Amino acid sequence: MTALQDQLDEITANTRHLVQQERLAVGERAVAELFASGIEDRILPVGGVAPGFELNDATGRLVRGEDMLALGPLVIKFFRGRWCPYCVTELEAWRDLYGTIREREALMVAIGPQTERQSDFMAGQHGLPFPVLSDPGNLIAEKFGLVYTVPEYHRAYYQSILVNIPFVNGEPSWRLPIPATYVIAKDRKVLFAEAHADFRVRPEPEEALAAAFAHHSR
């Protein structure tokens, strides 16, 4: 199986091949500024206590974190939106491991700011077997320390490639989460936490699962 990061690096290489240098520079500036803001240092860390959540899945059904944790450890994958090829590729990698997650008596959800309708499209298009939850206004992502506002100069780039984030998210704020992977124990303790200001970098799913299963089997 190809490592997730190798797949993501291929997307980056293709983008660099296709997109003009000055347009790429806009995204590079946004990533550098976000990293410099120190957001990675402020995320909810390993050993912290995960906040509860009650969010709707793609069908409008309410999903509660406490109900899922009653059954086993929980993988939470925060993603930006169905418009992000890196997020979709990452969620497909988790999809392919879902059988292993369930075998080990763990559960998984993906959480993003997009509307339920957008999540429904995405779950169907990519065959996602786990709940895709809508986090309106990024209120849950904010409790994990993940949220930032897309700067004005970067909004124009997104609009130029027909990514209308306010439309996808159903609200006008241009706020997004940095992509993050969490593994939460049944007692709500954080076993694994990784988030990157550079949206092109993601942890290998196997690394996150190793943290969950090492704890769960003790």
Domain ranges in the chain? 4-216
Task: Identify the band that residue 218 occupies on the pLDDT scale cut at 50, 70 and 90.
Answer: low
The superfamily in CATH containing domain 4-216 is: Glutaredoxin (3.40.30.10)
pTM: 0.92
Please write the tens of the pLDDT for every residue from 88-121. Answer: 999 999 999 999 999 989 999 999 999 999 999 9
pLDDT at 205: 93
Q: Is 78 helix (H, G, I), strand (E, B) or coil?
A: strand
Q: How far apart are the first and last CA of the chain?
A: 28
Residue 67: band (very low, low, confident or very high) from pLDDT cuts 50, 70, 90:
very high
SS3 per residue for 40-62: HHHCCCCCCECCCCEEECCCCCE
Poorest-confidence range of 2-6, 34-38, 202-206? 2-6
